[in-house]
Amino acid sequence: MLEIVKADLRNTDNNWTTPTNWKNDLVPDNAKQEPVLIKKGKSFYPTIDSEVVVGDILLEADGSIPGAITIVDGGTLDVAYDLVNDGNLVIEDNGSLQVRESNPIAGTGSVSISRNTPDYPADFYSIWSTPVAEADSQMNTIFTNSIIAYEYDASQNPSAYVQVSPAANMEVGKGYFIRSDNESGVITRTFSGTLNNGNVDIPIYYNNPTDKANLIGNPYASAINWKKVYEDNSDVLEGTIYYWSQSMTGANNNSGDYKSYNYGMGPSDFGITEFISAGLGVFVKSLQPGTMTFKNSHQVTGNNDQFFRTNENEDDGKSWFRLSGSMGYSPILIGFIPGATDNYETMYDATFISEGASIEFYSLLDSNKLEIQGRSVLQENQKIEIPLGYQVVSAGDYTVSIVLEYIDPTFEILLEDKLLGITTDLRQSDYTFNVPSPIEDHSRFILHYDYAAQLGIDDSVIDQNEVHTYFLNNQLMTNVNNDIQPKSFQLFDVLGKEVMNIKFKKKVSIQNIESGIYIVKYNFEDSNTVSKKVIKR
């Protein structure tokens, strides 16, 4: 039994941080990791909406009014040692419970964990996993409307999608494709039962170099960090996870439906990070057959938003591109970073996974199609050529564009169309071309990173530190510590969507945009650009 030394919840309101709720008016101190008792029979019980750290915590039992805690969106209860729940523990969508020790969570109280579906039509899939024990994870008790569910059975050779009965239990650590058969919009799914805690082992299968995908799922009630998972399982797993975010109906979905995150390079597209939310499944690829292990040490505080969040990685040397058309777009990432080489390495390269999509776009390395390619750091006087491949299922106009880049401005970024003999400076303009019929082509386009030897002593290269950007009272403010001023700027949201493209002004009124992280790309003469991240609060 826990030794309760303080923190006897009283009866003022449901705010954790209200002093009068606690014995001697002392709110539990996160830094001290104190034992906490949530007593039974009270009129108010705490709601956690920020990070709360405790040592041990006990929710008392009672037949009618047990001790209770509710963790809401943005809240995290971080338990350093033991959790005994004889009361009611409620974790709402995007709330998190993190338990550091691997001891089973004790107590006979109730637990509910809610996760919201994306705002999808009825026939769109999501990948789900269970944060509670398999015995408590019968699908039709969680997904209470009519559903269709599939598992990806990598134990077969070849691997195959297998339909699963709605009455089946979800295995802990596995992912499942699940869709509503007749309901659309945001639907709340609630898991109830015994929370998973401690190590979770799952088998990993490898059939051959082209059949090595495995569908896994976060087994905990908090987000986990893919980088930590990979570091503990790099003997059996490649370094990339693949998220699913369906965008179209029909057999040929947008190539952007699979979004990847690579351990060494980061995301293939904007809006994703290394954090795998509670209840979320992802694809991984294996190096060999074996066993992977989820551990409590993989859990993180917060970062439990539905599916994706903002990318905040170190971006120097990275460049993101898209091939866009009427059916959507396909993204790629190419980066020149310390540690990477020009050979294929699973820690820095991610193979293309969206075969059969309406638009496919990838870089080529030997026989590999890559959506993320890591290469050694650019050196002065280098000229790098990277072949690009694409496949489209319909005729029409398609456009290759830079979404964002952090490449040394002494290097040009050029797209060569070998079929038409056209070379385009992608920093200056996008490149649009037409295809008269469906096609797969690996020989038409080459991406060049060329050291710009023509730069003379009088040409100016703009330093990132010369440009200062911030929001103030709905105005975007820019200070440039340089005699050379930008000629224009573009404002992008975190998904890469252009919000604004205008001539440069030091003060620009910006109304009706939501709080969040934005990218401002300043365009100077002589193809120089500077990109800055800025937060609107």
pLDDT digits (tens, 9 = 90+) for 446-499: 999 998 744 333 344 566 667 888 777 778 888 887 777 888 888 877 656 778
Q: What is the mean pLDDT of residues 98-115?
A: 89
Which carries the bigger pLDDT value, residue 32 or residue 4?
A: 32
Residue 379 burial (CB < 10 Å; 0-12/13-18/19+)? Answer: exposed
Within a domain: residue 251?
A: yes
Which carries the bigger pLDDT value, residue 150 or residue 524?
A: 150
pLDDT at 92 over 90: yes
Report residue 68's pLDDT band, with 50, 70 and 90 as the boundaries: confident
Helix (H, G, I), strand (E, B) or coil at 464: helix
Tens of pLDDT, residue by residue over 33-67, are 999 988 887 777 889 999 999 999 998 887 667 77
Which carries the bigger pLDDT value, residue 306 or residue 448?
A: 448
Tens of pLDDT, residue by residue over 148-172, are 999 999 999 999 999 999 999 999 9
Structure tokens given for 318: 């990275």
pLDDT at 10 over 60: no
Tens of pLDDT, residue by residue over 286-305, are 999 999 999 999 998 866 55
pLDDT at 312 over 50: no
Within a domain: residue 458?
A: no
> Based on the domain organization, do 81 and 194 belong to the same domain?
no
pLDDT at 8 over 90: no
Domain boundary among 108, 124, 149: 108
Q: How many domains does the chain have?
A: 4
Which of left, alpha, beta for 256 (phi over 0: left; psi -120 to 50: alpha)?
Answer: alpha
The pLDDT, as a whole number, for residue 441 is: 95
Give me the chain's average pLDDT, please: 85
What does the alpha-carbon distance between residue 227 and residue 222 come to, in Å, rounded to a whole number? 15
> Based on the domain organization, do 41 and 169 belong to the same domain?
no
The pLDDT, as a whole number, for residue 251 is: 41
Tens of pLDDT, residue by residue over 190-238, are 999 999 999 999 999 999 998 999 999 999 999 999 999 999 999 999 9
The pLDDT, as a whole number, for residue 253 is: 42
> Based on the domain organization, do 228 and 368 belong to the same domain?
no
Helix (H, G, I), strand (E, B) or coil at 142: helix
> Based on the domain organization, do 274 and 139 belong to the same domain?
yes
The pLDDT, as a whole number, for residue 250 is: 46
What are the residues whose beta carbons fall under 8 Å from the beta carbon of 355, sequence distance 6 or more? none
Tens of pLDDT, residue by residue over 317-326, are 999 999 999 8
What is the maximum alpha-carbon separation in the chain?
A: 82
Q: How far is CA 284 from the centre of its chain?
A: 14
The pLDDT, as a whole number, for residue 451 is: 85
What phi, psi does 511 have (nearest 5°)? -110, 160
Domain boundary among 421, 451, 481: 451
The pLDDT, as a whole number, for residue 154 is: 96
> Based on the domain organization, do 120 and 262 belong to the same domain?
yes
Residue 153 Cα distances to 61, 214, 462, angstroms? 42, 8, 52
The residue range of the domain holding 273 is: 116-313
> Based on the domain organization, do 507 and 406 belong to the same domain?
no
The pLDDT, as a whole number, for residue 460 is: 46
Q: How far is CA 410 from the centre of its chain?
A: 32
Which carries the bigger pLDDT value, residue 144 or residue 135?
A: 135
Within a domain: residue 10?
A: no
Q: How far is CA 513 from the centre of its chain?
A: 22
Tell me which DSSP letter residue 233 carries: H
Within a domain: residue 457?
A: no
The pTM assigned to this predicted structure is 0.78
Within a domain: residue 5?
A: no
> Based on the domain organization, do 239 and 358 belong to the same domain?
no
- Look at residues 222, 214, 183 and name the one whose alpha carbon lies nearest to residue 100: 222
> Based on the domain organization, do 298 and 365 belong to the same domain?
no
Which carries the bigger pLDDT value, residue 238 or residue 381?
A: 238
Within a domain: residue 3?
A: no
Within a domain: residue 11?
A: no
The pLDDT, as a whole number, for residue 305 is: 52
> Based on the domain organization, do 198 and 55 belong to the same domain?
no
Report residue 315's pLDDT band, with 50, 70 and 90 as the boundaries: low
- CATH number of the structural domain spanning residue 526: 2.60.40.1270
> Based on the domain organization, do 56 and 195 belong to the same domain?
no
Burial 290-301 (b: 16+ CB within 10 A, else e): eebebbbebbbe
Q: Do residues 417 and 444 make contact, with C-beta atoms less than 8 angstroms apart?
A: yes
For 448, other C-beta atoms within 10 Å of its C-beta total: 17
Within a domain: residue 260?
A: yes
> Based on the domain organization, do 212 and 80 belong to the same domain?
no
Domain boundary among 79, 108, 137: 108
Structure tokens given for 467: 């440009």
Helix (H) or strand (E) holding 163: strand 160-164
Highest mean pLDDT among 105-109, 208-212, 386-390: 386-390
Torsion of CA 237, 241, 244, 247, to 10 degrees: -140
The pLDDT, as a whole number, for residue 2 is: 32
pLDDT at 89 over 70: yes
What are the residues whose beta carbons fall under 8 Å from the beta carbon of 273, sequence distance 6 or more? 261, 267, 303, 308, 309, 310, 311, 312, 313
pLDDT at 9 over 60: no
Which carries the bigger pLDDT value, residue 84 or residue 247?
A: 84
Structure tokens given for 531: 């990109």
Q: Do residues 223 and 304 make contact, with C-beta atoms less than 8 angstroms apart?
A: yes
> Based on the domain organization, do 428 and 490 belong to the same domain?
no
